[in-house]
Amino acid sequence: MSTQSFTPALGRVAPARFFDVVVALTRERLWRALAAMYVVPRPDDVIIDVGCGTGSLALLLSRVQPSARIIGLDPDPDVLAVARQKAAADATVQWRVGMGDALVDSVGADSVDTVVSSLVLHQCPLPMKRTVLASMLAVLKPGGKLVIADYGLQRTTLMRLAFRIVQLADGKEDTQPNADGALPGLMSDAGFADVREAEVVSTVTGSISIYVARKD
């Protein structure tokens, strides 16, 4: 996957600088807090936020556990510029340009305690979802944890209608597998164990699920 082939943070809707404004409409504070709760960062943990965007989740984790080593990785220099501005004097997050399907190149195999990702996989074509998940598994230490916050199974008519906003921005072909509930199966296929949908948060753009899993 080249750095020119990723879907921008807001798809075709708006420039990266408006990402935080738009995402705030999705009950962001709730689902990010839930994601952080399942990460449970510990001192000296190495945590990589794949597709970190403007850095909201990475910065939250650094505030929860300042002694953890947090890496925010994204292929888009524009959103990383926003993340660096938001971080200001917060030196605990390392911002890196990189692709989700080449995490070993960025951090090394079996080197990370926890991989987190939010609102990324729904933007990826199905083969790329598989490749990114395999890449996440490869960088986790044995026993390491995966926490994903993303659009999942849209269970109700209202949520399916709301999710059309996302599909207009990011395209139906890439987003429909998420809406059909494909992520847990894809995570299991990639080799993750104990895969489960831990939380579901209804939003104006569809329901966002928190998925957790581990590497044996």
pLDDT single digits (tens) 125-151: 999 999 999 999 999 999 999 999 999
- Tell me which residue of 33, 32, 63, 46 sits closest to 144, measured CA to CA: 46
Whether 211 and 198 have beta carbons less than 8 Å apart is answered as yes
pLDDT digits (tens, 9 = 90+) for 158-170: 999 999 999 999 9
With a threshold of 0.75, does the pTM exceed it?
Answer: yes
Average pLDDT, whole number, for the chain? Answer: 90
* Separation CA 203–CA 216 (nearest Å): 33
User: What is the percent of the chain with per-residue pLDDT over 70, rounded to a whole number?
Assistant: 87
- CA dist., res. 210 & res. 12, Å (int): 25
Q: How high is the pLDDT of residue 1?
A: 44
d(CA 147, CA 27): 18
Q: How far apart are CA 51 and CA 9, in angstroms?
A: 9
List pLDDT tens digits, range 99-113: 999 999 999 999 999
Unique residue bearing structure tokens 């995966």? 146
